[in-house]
């Protein structure tokens, strides 16, 4: 008869920045992207959203007053290890950020200033969503063994 229909779940990306103008710009500029978009003006608000919504990728600004983006992503990684984290920063040469990328704490560092379409911001976010999909598929196919091995290597 007919094959099973593959249900494609729309992924969700959470953008975190204390600058409301940046968030509005992202909302307008990413309007045509196929993933769901959520926006938070603080790390606290982002953590509250994570308790209520299923999020697959987080793009956080590095300079947020109460807690920087890297600190937020470290908390998220402990609580929600499947979420892919990315940092927006004007300090591309920051050793802490470079180390976080090299050690796999964050998926990608997006340099500022950026303009939608110029730094290929949209493509970087799409790649993070694709990375989530591949990681999720790998976890399903190997029963999570790959992530267990990665965790042991990090210890």
CATH for 49 = 3.40.50.2300
In this predicted model, what pLDDT tens digit does every residue of 17-76 receive, in sequence order?
999 999 999 999 899 899 999 999 999 999 999 999 999 999 999 989 889 899 999 999
38 with 53: CB under 8 angstroms? yes
Q: Which residue has the higher pLDDT, 92 or 1?
A: 92
Domain total of the chain: 1
In this prediction the pTM is: 0.79
Domain of 98 in residue numbering reads as 12-154
Query: Is 69 part of any domain?
Result: yes
Q: What is the mean pLDDT of residues 80-105?
A: 81
Reported confidence tier of residue 84, pLDDT bands at 50, 70, 90 = very high
> In this model, does residue 1 exceed pLDDT 50?
no
Q: Which residue has the higher pLDDT, 42 or 112?
A: 42
Reported confidence tier of residue 117, pLDDT bands at 50, 70, 90 = low
Query: Is 6 part of any domain?
Result: no
């Amino acid at each position: 008869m007919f094959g099973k229909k593959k249900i494609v779940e729309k992924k969700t990306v959470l953008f975190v920045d204390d600058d409301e103008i940046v968030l509005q710009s992202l909302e307008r500029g990413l309007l045509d992207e196929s993933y769901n978009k959520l926006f938070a003006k603080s790390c606290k608000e982002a953590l509250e959203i994570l308790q209520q919504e299923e999020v697959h990728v987080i793009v956080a600004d590095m300079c947020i007053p109460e807690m920087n983006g890297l600190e937020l992503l470290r908390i998220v990684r402990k609580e929600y290890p499947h979420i892919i984290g990315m940092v927006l920063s004007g300090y591309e040469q920051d050793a802490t950020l470079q180390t976080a990328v090299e050690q796999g704490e964050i998926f990608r560092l997006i340099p500022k200033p950026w303009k939608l379409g110029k730094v290929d911001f949209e493509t970087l976010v799409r790649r993070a969503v694709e990375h989530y999909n591949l990681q999720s598929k790998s976890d399903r196919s190997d029963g999570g063994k790959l992530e267990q091995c990665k965790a042991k290597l990090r210890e």
